Amino acid sequence: MNLPATMRALQMRGLNQLVLTTLPLPSLKTDEVLIRTMATTICTSDLHDIKTNPFGIKLPSVLGHEGAGIIVQCGSDVKTFSTGMRVAAHPVVPCGICEECRRGFGHLCLNMGHLGIDRNGTFAEYFVQRADRIRRLPDSISFPLGALLEPVANCLQAIARAGDIKGRVVLVVGDGPFGNIIARLAIRAGAARVLVSGREPFRLGMIPGAEIVDSGPVGSVDVAILAVSSSAAVHTCMASLRKRGRLVVFSLINEPVPINLFQLHVSELEIVGCCNDEERMDESLRCLEDPALKLSELVTQEVPFENWEEAFYLARDRHDKALKVAITFN
Ligand SMILES: [Zn+2]
Ligand SMILES: [Zn+2]
């Protein structure tokens, strides 16, 4: 296959500074594949990175970590993939040798690599990923839908961390893409009731089967899942839990939040964290294919790469009409 020497990419050069630029095509290690990007979706965390760079990404850097495309080149050690295959990537790259990786917690790797954080990501015409971190996409899954491989895997982790929710009452605080996916997965996992609170009527209207509740404590839920980065929402979750209830901290909270340990003690509450996912790519693929989940509804706009500014505007400022925005390439 004839590959170009350069590619167009969106490079972050400073806070609130994204620039369309031309970069050399990324080079490949022996266990990696080069993917021609067909779709990449904008994550809330990309928007945070652009605004405040909370992870201290070394700039300039190409952001983006939710991508799908076509393999155009394979490293010499790659046996299970070949050029022309349709694939989606998971951005997390565990080292495989640290203490946490050896314990089976690759998603909590101490030397974690991550597309769009410590290496160039998917907001470009091409990106590279280690072959064990990609999956083939069946033809029934479009590229924009395939780009949701990782966010859906992350949300499956939230369901797993919630424990056995069959027949239970689950509160999801947050109506963004993650809250939406988590609510759908909670229904799929057999929760008796799934309550969702949020701010945006358009987004709240996009979660079939969930009951919309006011923000603020609702009382007597078994599980509360924090899917918005707000300390007020932490209090809502805590105040909503029944005895022996569990809070799953899914969203990143960047500030210390006071917790009422008296309440935790007398109600035997649990608080668990949830970060990345424990190898849930295959389960995520099954969810993407599941007609009952209708996850393709999540991609509300597909915007050509040329119009990337519009894509970021929609994702950042138009919560009244956008949920997940995909940037597409041809
Ligand atoms: Zn993300
Ligand atoms: Zn590791």
Question: What is the whole-number distance in angstroms between the Cα of residue 180 and the centre of ligand 1?
Answer: 14
Contact predicate 254/229, CB 8 Å: yes
Report the pLDDT value the prediction gives residue 201, as an integer from 0 to 100. 96
Question: What is the whole-number distance in angstroms between the Cα of residue 172 and the centre of ligand 1?
Answer: 18
Task: Give the residue-averaged pLDDT of 3-28.
Answer: 97
Has residue 139 been placed in a domain? yes
Residue 69, amino acid: G
Has residue 280 been placed in a domain? no
> In the beta sheet, which residues pair with residue 303?
327
Has residue 190 been placed in a domain? yes
Question: What is the whole-number distance in angstroms between the Cα of residue 300 and the centre of ligand 1?
Answer: 17
Question: What is the whole-number distance in angstroms between the Cα of residue 181 and the centre of ligand 1?
Answer: 13
Residue 165, amino acid: I
Say whether both 54 and 28 belong to one domain.
yes
C-alpha distances in angstroms, 20 versus 104, 117, 251, 271, 306?
39, 18, 29, 42, 9
| pLDDT higher than threshold 80 for residue 189 | yes
Has residue 281 been placed in a domain? no
- Beta strands of the chain (E only): which ranges? 6-14, 17-24, 32-41, 61-62, 67-74, 86-89, 92-93, 113-114, 126-130, 134-136, 169-173, 193-197, 211-212, 221-226, 241-249, 270-273, 299-304, 324-328
Q: Which ligand is nearest to the CA of 47?
A: 1
Say whether both 174 and 118 belong to one domain.
no
Question: What is the whole-number distance in angstroms between the Cα of residue 311 and the centre of ligand 1?
Answer: 16
- Which is nearest to 50 in space by CA: 14, 4, 97? 14
Q: Which ligand is nearest to the CA of 42?
A: 1
Question: What is the whole-number distance in angstroms between the Cα of residue 265 and the centre of ligand 1?
Answer: 34
| pLDDT higher than threshold 90 for residue 18 | yes
Model confidence band, residue 226 (pLDDT cutoffs 50, 70, 90):
very high
Q: Token pair of 132, please?
A: 């064990």
Say whether both 136 and 165 belong to one domain.
no
Say whether both 143 and 164 belong to one domain.
no
Q: Which ligand is nearest to the CA of 107?
A: 2
CATH number at residue 177: 3.40.50.720
Contact predicate 210/194, CB 8 Å: yes
Contacts of 224 (CB under 8 A, 6+ apart): 170, 171, 172, 173, 236, 237, 238, 240, 241, 245, 246, 247, 248
Report the pLDDT value the prediction gives residue 330, as an integer from 0 to 100. 86
CA torsion, points 42, 48, 49, 53, in degrees to nearest 10?
Answer: 180
Say whether both 117 and 194 belong to one domain.
no
Question: What is the whole-number distance in angstroms between the Cα of residue 132 and the centre of ligand 2?
Answer: 14
Mean pLDDT of the chain: 97
Question: What is the whole-number distance in angstroms between the Cα of residue 263 and the centre of ligand 1?
Answer: 33
| pLDDT over 70 percentage in the chain | 100
Number of structural domains (the chain) is: 2
CA distance 122 to 255: 29
Question: What is the whole-number distance in angstroms between the Cα of residue 154 and the centre of ligand 1?
Answer: 9
Q: Token pair of 84, please?
A: 């022309």
Has residue 1 been placed in a domain? no
Q: Token pair of 20, please?
A: 């369309």
CA distance 75 to 22: 23
| pLDDT higher than threshold 80 for residue 1 | no
Structural domain containing residue 309? 6-147+294-328
Radius of gyration, CA atoms only, the chain? 20
Q: Which ligand is nearest to the CA of 250?
A: 1
Classify 188 as helix, strand or coil.
Answer: helix
Question: What is the whole-number distance in angstroms between the Cα of residue 160 and the centre of ligand 2?
Answer: 21
Has residue 186 been placed in a domain? yes
Model confidence band, residue 294 (pLDDT cutoffs 50, 70, 90):
very high
Question: What is the whole-number distance in angstroms between the Cα of residue 59 and the centre of ligand 2?
Answer: 24
Say whether both 27 and 65 belong to one domain.
yes
Model confidence band, residue 254 (pLDDT cutoffs 50, 70, 90):
confident
Say whether both 127 and 206 belong to one domain.
no
CA distance 17 to 199: 28
Q: Token pair of 129, please?
A: 């990923």
CA distance 92 to 247: 25
Report the pLDDT value the prediction gives residue 297, as an integer from 0 to 100. 97
Report the pLDDT value the prediction gives residue 2, as an integer from 0 to 100. 86
